[in-house]
Structure 1
Amino acid sequence: MNRQKYPADQCLSERNGHLFIEDCDTLKLVEDFGSPLFVVSEQQLRNNYRQYKRAFSQHWPNGQVDILPANKANWNTAVRTILSQEGAGADIYSEGELYSALACNVRRDLISVNGGGKSDDMLRRCIQAGVRITVEDLDEPERINRIAATLNTSAKIRFRVKPDFPNLWKKTDFAAESTSIDMGIQLYKSGIPAQYLEELGKQVLQMKNVELTGLHFHGGRHHNSLWYWRGLMKRYAQLVVHLCQAWGGYQPKELDIGGGFATERDPHSKLGIREDTVLTWFTYPLELALYSLSVSARYRVMSALIEKALIKIPGRKRAPTIEDYAEAAVGTFRDTLIRSGLDISNVRLQVEPGRGFYGNTGIHLSSVRKFKRQTQPLQMNWVLTDTTYFFMSGGVYEHNLHEFCVANKVDQPAKHIADVVGQSCYADRILPLVKVPDIAEGDVIAFLDMGAYQEVSAANFNALPRPGVVLVNGDQAEWIKLPETIEDVYRRDRIPERLRQNDGLNPVTPFSQEARHA
């Protein structure tokens, strides 16, 4: 077992040359359920909640600590039900996510409804449900107050604040542009700019049907370092203290520090988009210069360049542990508040993790269709799979480079440099220029850390049916989301009757039983 790749506290292991998730052989999962396939570990999900709860509570002895995993990262109802059983809250960003949280019995007072531009209908539903409304728009408190008055009740709200961060000068991982974390946060749409908060708070504290329970801030995954979290929490805490003083000694009941913690293997922004751009400034002029050589010599040099300079190696560096993150973030936040004289006795601390919480709970399995080779004029290899990066759109947007293995050959050495590619008509380079062992048709590729943002962002490009999701618990496995059929892909389509009458073609639709069996 490779303990660097699969830490002892995680759900993955190597047994007799095969990758196991909990006690399920991934090859048997593909045999039983087909591929491509998303797989979620129930025990890892439960363990992650308990680990987060324990780590953050250790550094916040002043009051209750609530873990509110981000529904946007994984809104599967079975996953959400497991977390509700554990006592987790939920970070919500849409009406659909709110539906999931309410249907899966999340405690109402532990639901944080975030996002700007909420409709009156959405606000009314939140007030009736008794959830926390995280305010992002300047007119939102007055609208909430008005709607709550018509319902003869009071609404609980928090401000999502947007502090200034001149201390965060390192380059953000979020943007393709090369810019600082400070600029990245300022350019991001969410949060109420600090310039409006003093006056807005004074207005809200006078409203009869609104209770300001506390403050909320979400920085996101700009950088995986502890330096980032210490700098982030220091400035946030300073703004909290400033606002409490400006509001005449306001005492918050809860303070939410959001999320943005990395998974330990941390695939985020590791595809090297910026580095490749820099390299291209050198490789393209070099390529032009090589035109002075013979054709064969030019391709030999370019082949060597691919092998030596452009190869991708996932997982070169591990991110901090969640215990390290908790110490850096909460320790800095708490110390800054206390040194500034703010009374935080019985103040609840809330945390809204996403990728760091769900990432290592899931993997994606895909079968190899072909191993394609080319030796002339340029040496290149491709591993053609039955999946696509459109089933992993969240990772594509974030330039993720996921660690992987050949699930039935985990103990075999890497021999070839290849692109692991998907089945769509795009280039579909899921893993560009990585090292693989000898590959054969029917081998299974396991993409790791697929529990957050991947399956929930899957798309139907090329009319490809999206994969299903299987939950494993020990040696048991069962569907928690069925795979789509081709009929499912076209289910919402409608052909106007006038087109059917005038096309002069067979009236049998392509989605009917008759057409499928013609």
Structure 2
Amino acid sequence: MDTSAVRSSPLAPDWLAVPEDLNALQDPMWAAGVERNDAGEVAIDGIPVSELKAQFGTPLFVMSESDFRSRARAFKDAFDAAFADICGGVDVYYAGKSFLCTAVASWVADEGLRLDTCSGGELAVAARAGIPGAKLGLHGNNKSDAEINRALDMELGRIVVDSLDELDRVAKIASSRGETAKVMLRLTPGVHAHTHEFIATAHEDQKFGLSMAGDSTAEAGLSAAEEAVAAATSYAGIELLGLHCHIGSQIFEPDGFELAAEKLLAFQAAMQEKYSIVMPELDLGGGYGIAYTPVDTPRPAAEIAEAMAAVVRSTCARLGIKSPRISIEPGRAIVGSTTFTLYEVGTLKTVRVDAEADAGAGENVTYPRRYVSVDGGMSDNARPVLYDADYSAILASRSSAAEPQLSRVVGKHCESGDIVVRDVYLPADVAAGDLLAVPGTGAYCWALSSNYNYLARPGVVAVRDGAARLIVRGETEEDLLNRDMGVANV
């Protein structure tokens, strides 16, 4: 139907407009190959969602392998081209924390990327996928001795050290083995990214990194960052590759990345001169935003690459230094939009909510908000409850000519905060048994999934060239009970 004459609900946030066409899949929220077919059903590479539901059940993460590979290749090609004259190209590390399994790790390697890990478990996935240690990095603010030893066993290309205490532990473990650990120092440059507080990681008052701010209580008034550089040069078991920073996640504006690059290059140049060392690498992190809603405006990989290259080029020229080898760590920007989550609708209810009255409409005006419950929730997407993250949704199993109704898509968990999509316009005739698709769920959804209320975690299906296959099997109740020792010992 034509929705142009439909008024928006006073309960809707200012950014949410009534869609011109409730059946349209709005770019750039969806993976390439996702479209509505002639029968009115959403399909991916020609496979309708009803077929996916019948074969694999719901909830279900549905990923386009081709789209993942294309986005990974776009980052590698764009950054290599932009930095060719500066440092001969860029090492692109896929941030495995966003979503990782052995299939994805193999795609990453196939497309010429490296892999960033954050735990022993992620290293185990990389090893099982056959990724050489030289192509891996290890992050984390609290690496165990076992994880450090595993990184050395695998001859990792880099260990990103997060504190002076950790630097000392890595050095001692490496020396006790008669080996040298290749290390980068994670710094907090004090750049405040325009993002949620919990995913902004470069300000001073948080758990990550070594502060670049001077500290009069430290030895000789050095910053923690400089203390780390000085210490790293003195350890026999440390090879200091360079510096690292990560200013946050889901960032659209380039100014934060540019300022961080300038600050780290200046600091790296100063440290190399002061301590007569060469640090051949500089990692500028990731955090590039994607479209979760129609108003999000992600930047293409080439645009990001060119903007960052311009800053590195001009800063190195101003400082009179040769550029170090640059690396970056996109995760969400590669995997996020490749995936949608498929849910089945269960119960629906409409409540009346007080809202500010229109001029002259009188007091105590209430408006309807419809709650649409689905068969998943915060156990497969914790981001709304963690970060107030916004998502969108669409009726996927059929098209509809019904008028739009402001809806809140919620899960089945025993929490009032169990919200999948806080505000979205869906057709008024959405009913139990319909399928909804929520785009942009490739990053930090399956990775943060849980078994709250003893729900089994969903499977992940990869679709390519019209064929769908499981790359992560969904759990069963038997899987959950197998860990319960009271059951196991019966």
For Structure 1 versus Structure 2, the TM-score category normalised by the shorter chain is 0.7 to 0.9
> How far 1:8 sits from its partner (Å)?
9.3
Distance 1:226 1:141 in 2: 31
> How far 1:23 sits from its partner (Å)?
2.9
Distance 2:399 2:74 in 1: 28
Tell me how many residue pairs correspond in the alignment: 440
**What residue in structure 2 maps to residue 380 of structure 1?**
369
8 A contact 1:84–1:106 mirrored in 2: yes
**What residue in structure 2 maps to residue 156 of structure 1?**
182
Q: 2:421 aligns with which of 412, 431, 438?
A: 431
Q: Which moved more, 1:6-15 or 1:436-445?
A: 6-15
Correspondence 1:401 to 2:424 = no
Distance 2:26 2:346 in 1: 29
**What residue in structure 2 maps to residue 86 of structure 1?**
111
Q: 2:485 is paired with a residue of what secondary structure?
A: coil
8 A contact 1:84–1:105 mirrored in 2: no
TM-score calculated relative to the size of structure 2: 0.83
Instruction: Please give the residue correspondences for 1:36-51 in structure 2 after superposition, counting only pairs within 5 Å.
Output: 36-51=59-74
Correspondence 1:20 to 2:48 = no
> How far 1:205 sits from its partner (Å)?
2.1
**What residue in structure 2 maps to residue 488 of structure 1?**
479
8 A contact 1:395–1:453 mirrored in 2: no
> How far 1:369 sits from its partner (Å)?
1.7
- Give 1 or 2: higher helix fraction: 1
Distance 1:379 1:350 in 2: 50
Correspondence 1:189 to 2:207 = yes
Identity of aligned residues (%): 28
TM-score calculated relative to the size of structure 1: 0.79
Letter of the 1:208 counterpart: A
**What residue in structure 2 maps to residue 371 of structure 1?**
348
**What residue in structure 1 maps to residue 455 of structure 2?**
464
8 A contact 1:6–1:12 mirrored in 2: no
**What residue in structure 2 maps to residue 336 of structure 1?**
315
Q: 1:112 aligns with which of 137, 144, 149?
A: 137
Distance 1:392 1:255 in 2: 33
Letter of the 1:261 counterpart: Y
Q: 1:45 is paired with a residue of what secondary structure?
A: helix
Letter of the 2:328 counterpart: V
**What residue in structure 1 maps to residue 269 of structure 2?**
241
8 A contact 2:250–2:289 mirrored in 1: no
Letter of the 1:257 counterpart: L
**What residue in structure 1 maps to residue 363 of structure 2?**
none
Distance 1:222 1:24 in 2: 30
Structure 1 residues 124 and 22 mapped into 2: Cα distance closer, same or farther (>3 Å)? same
**What residue in structure 2 maps to residue 270 of structure 1?**
none
Q: 1:238 is paired with a residue of what secondary structure?
A: helix
Correspondence 1:147 to 2:126 = no
Structure 1 residues 241 and 105 mapped into 2: Cα distance closer, same or farther (>3 Å)? same
Letter of the 1:21 counterpart: I
**What residue in structure 1 maps to residue 91 of structure 2?**
66
**What residue in structure 2 maps to residue 121 of structure 1?**
146
Distance 1:127 1:494 in 2: 35
> How far 1:240 sits from its partner (Å)?
2.2
> How far 1:173 sits from its partner (Å)?
1.9
Q: 2:434 aligns with which of 443, 449, 463?
A: 443
Q: Which structure 1 segments of 5+ residues have no match?
A: 268-313, 496-508, 513-518
Q: 2:321 is paired with a residue of what secondary structure?
A: coil
Q: 1:90 is paired with a residue of what secondary structure?
A: strand
Structure 1 residues 510 and 421 mapped into 2: Cα distance closer, same or farther (>3 Å)? farther
Cα deviations by residue, 1:388-436 (Å, 9 ceiling, x for unpaired): 1221013431221112211123564652112212112223222224211
Q: 1:389 is paired with a residue of what secondary structure?
A: coil
8 A contact 1:204–1:210 mirrored in 2: yes
Distance 1:494 1:418 in 2: 42
Cα deviations by residue, 1:210-251 (Å, 9 ceiling, x for unpaired): 211121111122632122322332223222222222222x32
Cα deviations by residue, 1:285-331 (Å, 9 ceiling, x for unpaired): xxxxxxxxxxxxxxxxxxxxxxxxxxxxx322422222222222232
Distance 1:243 1:164 in 2: 18
Q: 2:320 is paired with a residue of what secondary structure?
A: coil
Structure 1 residues 375 and 8 mapped into 2: Cα distance closer, same or farther (>3 Å)? closer
Q: Which moved more, 1:434-443 or 1:483-492?
A: 483-492
Question: Computing the radius of gyration over CA atoms, which structure comes out larger, 1 or 2?
Answer: 1
Q: 1:350 is paired with a residue of what secondary structure?
A: strand
Q: 1:157 is paired with a residue of what secondary structure?
A: strand
Q: 2:116 is paired with a residue of what secondary structure?
A: strand
8 A contact 2:283–2:326 mirrored in 1: yes
